[in-house]
Homo-oligomer: A and B are copies of this chain.
Amino acid sequence: MAFGSFIKFFMPKDRVFYSLFEEVTGNLMQMGDIFVAALDEKDIDKRTQMLKMLEDLEHKNDEVTHRIFIELGSNFITPFDREDIHALTTSLDDIADYIWGSAKRLTNYYIHDVDDTVRLFADVIQRCIVALNTAIMRLRDMKDLRAITDACVLINSLENEADDIFDEAMSKLFAYCSDPIELIKKKDLYQELEIVTDKCEDAANVVESIIIKYA
């Protein structure tokens, strides 16, 4: 494909974007794993330490995001449309923000006993991130478009799963929880977790639109 060959000529400068995106999804993979592990940690001090690691990873992610925007501002040639790079960067950054937002709620709301809904969300989020990492890793050579599309389709179906988890949790909460402060805490935590999967879907949609333009 003509445009594909054309961009390869500029490899040294524009390939930096692939490395930066891979750094971001590598970071998100770690965040997903630590978040799931933190939920299983019964010792509150140890759990707090793990959540602190999420804060560090979120800051690290902010820095990579910043570097992508600097590259975007100073590079004339980019591997995909500038607005796609912008949208992808923003949604990946949002994923880190909302994972860290969910973790903070566990601490700030003194939620010590993690319920099944939170675990279900954490599992879906972890699977979304793995799929996103797969898709991003294959953008570099664009050899296996099928694998990229499959990963995006999977993320879309995981986001639907998260919607169902959320709806069922809300319906149960308003049916059985009579303590309003407890209800506020859980409702707010579930919403934050659900947004993580929305942001994964946003990222997947950008990846899909990059693929469409390339194909």
- Name A residues whose Cβ lies closer than 8 Å to a Cβ of B: 69-70, 72-74, 83, 86, 104, 107-110, 167, 170-171, 174-175, 178, 180-181, 183-185, 187, 205, 208-209, 212-213, 215
B180–A107 touching, CB < 8 Å? no
Q: Contacts A69-B208, A70-B212, A83-B86 given; 14 further ones with Cβ under 8 A?
A: A72-B209, A74-B212, A104-B167, A107-B171, A108-B170, A108-B174, A109-B170, A110-B174, A110-B175, A174-B185, A178-B181, A180-B181, A181-B183, A184-B187
Q: Which residues of B contact A107 (CB under 8 A)?
A: 171
Q: Which residues of B contact A178 (CB under 8 A)?
A: 181
User: What is the bound-complex CA distance between A73 and B206, given in angstroms?
Assistant: 11
User: What is the bound-complex CA distance between A159 and B110, given in angstroms?
Assistant: 24
Counting every copy of the chain, the complex holds 3
Q: Could you tell me the dominant secondary structure of chain A's interface residues?
A: helix
B108–A209 touching, CB < 8 Å? no
User: What is the bound-complex CA distance between A45 and B167, given in angstroms?
Assistant: 18
Determine the residue in chain B with the shortest Cβ distance to A70.
Answer: B212
User: What is the bound-complex CA distance between A178 and B174, given in angstroms?
Assistant: 17
User: What is the bound-complex CA distance between A183 and B86, given in angstroms?
Assistant: 37
22 A-B pairs, CB-CB below 8 angstroms?
A69-B205, A69-B208, A69-B209, A72-B209, A73-B209, A73-B213, A74-B212, A74-B213, A83-B83, A83-B86, A104-B167, A107-B171, A108-B170, A109-B174, A110-B174, A110-B175, A174-B181, A174-B185, A178-B181, A180-B181, A180-B184, A183-B184
User: What is the bound-complex CA distance between A70 and B215, given in angstroms?
Assistant: 11
Determine the residue in chain B with the shortest Cβ distance to A172.
Answer: B108
Q: Taking each of A74, A175, A180, A185, which has the highest tally of chain B beta carbons within 10 Å of its own beta carbon?
A: A180
